């Protein structure tokens, strides 16, 4: 069985050696030494001024909405994982969908202004598959209309744009450290902001609102990462260069094989150092996609229709046709991609797909 993704697990003895520090200190939650160490190392690795590690990658979106005091409508993308939209709804706001760029697959910045109303408070955009949005134009629109900007950067660990971490754009950026991600803590995530003042607010929101053991700055929730998760992150981080290099080789093999085929491949925005987080292929129509997916499954090769369906069609939002997102979501398939996927298997996957086109 070839999986569509596979968790990178560091040598068990290395994880246990780090975890022993938590055992020795008898400290496994409430922001112990391992979390503080992990945050320090990630700040250095990612070149970011602030980071708050969290227990998953969805709570950061909800905390960002809360901390920025967003109300009314939030402009967002229909082409993302469901957490992007569900976080908006969960916090009592209304998602307003703007269609996507047909090649970059990120929100189409040229269509944002037409969606702005007197009720709009923010833009929540996703860097899709680690491919950055047009951050300059989104920032200009936000400044012009006095809007906040949140980036769902769940797929973006290690991505930089024009020499800067993508986490340094927007008022707040969020990331997922889920087990399926490049860098992971089993479950986990993080909040990023350039503003020290906003970082303080995000921090107390993620820790029940505490200001010391007996005082509270405001409302909060429990989004703290545990020492068990922190230990996993500390064990995985030293392997990132090797993980990225191996994934690049696999992606390069796919791209070389498919560049002259009928498949549409993800167009990476210029000036981006990409992280090879996913390998999506866009077929001519849904029928062709299902044919290829079935042929792969017969050989026990798993793929994923990611993202499907387009979020403007889920049951708890107002249906709103978005032609490009609707069309692409029916035709896109993520191919197997993980650090130790043998190149012989990659070539087999390629051959099966090409045979079906």
Secondary structure of 126-152 in the HEC alphabet? ECHHHCCCCHHHHHHHHHHHCCEEEEE
Predicted local distance difference test score (pLDDT) of residue 215: 82
Predicted local distance difference test score (pLDDT) of residue 69: 98
Q: Phi then psi for 247, rounded to 5 degrees?
A: -70, -35
- The second-level CATH assignment, the architecture, of 240-356 is Alpha-Beta Complex (3.90)
Predicted local distance difference test score (pLDDT) of residue 105: 98
| Cβ proximity of 224 and 55 under 8 Å | yes
d(CA 145, CA 121): 9
Q: Where are the domains of the chain?
A: 12-238, 240-356
Predicted local distance difference test score (pLDDT) of residue 212: 79
Predicted local distance difference test score (pLDDT) of residue 345: 98
Spans of the chain below 50 pLDDT: none
Task: Give the helix/strand (H/E) hosting 40.
Answer: helix 33-46
d(CA 120, CA 211): 32
3-state secondary structure at position 172: strand
CATH T-level topology, domain 12-238: 3.40.640
Predicted local distance difference test score (pLDDT) of residue 44: 98
Predicted local distance difference test score (pLDDT) of residue 213: 82
CA distances from 250 to 113, 131, 215, 246, 274 (A): 39, 18, 52, 7, 14
| Sign of the dihedral through C-alpha 153, 158, 161, 164 | positive
- The strand pair at 120-126 and 148-152 is best described as parallel
CA distances from 182 to 5, 64, 93, 274, 276 (A): 10, 23, 31, 12, 9
- Closest of 200, 185, 141, 135 to residue 163, by C-alpha: 135
3-state secondary structure at position 8: coil
- Closest of 327, 335, 258 to residue 286, by C-alpha: 327
Predicted local distance difference test score (pLDDT) of residue 178: 98
């Amino acid at each position: 069985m070839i999986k569509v993704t596979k968790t990178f697990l560091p040598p068990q003895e290395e994880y246990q050696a780090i975890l022993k520090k938590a055992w020795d200190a008898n400290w496994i939650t409430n922001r112990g030494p391992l979390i503080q160490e992990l945050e320090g190392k990630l700040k250095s690795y990612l070149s970011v001024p602030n980071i708050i590690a969290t227990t998953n990658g969805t709570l950061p979106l909800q905390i960002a909405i809360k901390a920025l005091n967003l109300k009314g409508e939030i402009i967002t993308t229909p082409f993302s994982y469901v957490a992007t939209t569900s976080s908006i709804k969960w916090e009592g706001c209304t998602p307003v969908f703007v269609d996507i760029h047909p090649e970059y697959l990120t929100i189409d910045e040229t269509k944002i202004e037409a969606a702005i109303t007197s009720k709009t408070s923010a833009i929540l955009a996703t860097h899709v598959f680690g491919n950055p949005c047009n951050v300059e134009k989104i920032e200009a629109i936000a400044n012009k209309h006095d809007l906040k900007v949140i980036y769902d950067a769940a797929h973006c660990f290690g991505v930089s744009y024009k020499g800067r971490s993508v986490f340094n754009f927007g008022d707040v950026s969020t990331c997922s450290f889920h087990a399926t991600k490049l860098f992971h803590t089993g479950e986990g995530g993080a909040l990023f902001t350039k503003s020290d003042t906003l970082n303080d607010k995000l921090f107390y929101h993620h820790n029940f609102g505490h200001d010391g053991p007996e005082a509270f700055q405001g409302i909060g929730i429990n989004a703290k990462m545990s020492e068990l998760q922190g230990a996993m992150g500390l064990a995985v981080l030293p392997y990132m260069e090797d993980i990225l290099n191996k994934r690049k080789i696999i992606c390069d093999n796919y791209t070389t094989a498919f560049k002259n085929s009928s498949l549409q491949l993800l167009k990476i925005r210029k000036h981006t150092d990409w992280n090879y987080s996913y390998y999506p292929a866009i077929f001519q129509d849904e029928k062709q996609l299902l044919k290829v997916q079935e042929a792969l499954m017969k050989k026990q090769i798993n793929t994923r229709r990611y993202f499907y369906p387009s979020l403007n069609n889920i049951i708890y939002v107002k249906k709103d046709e978005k032609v490009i997102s609707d069309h692409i979501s029916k035709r896109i398939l993520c191919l197997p991609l993980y650090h130790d996927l043998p190149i012989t298997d990659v070539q087999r996957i390629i051959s099966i797909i090409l045979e079906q086109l």
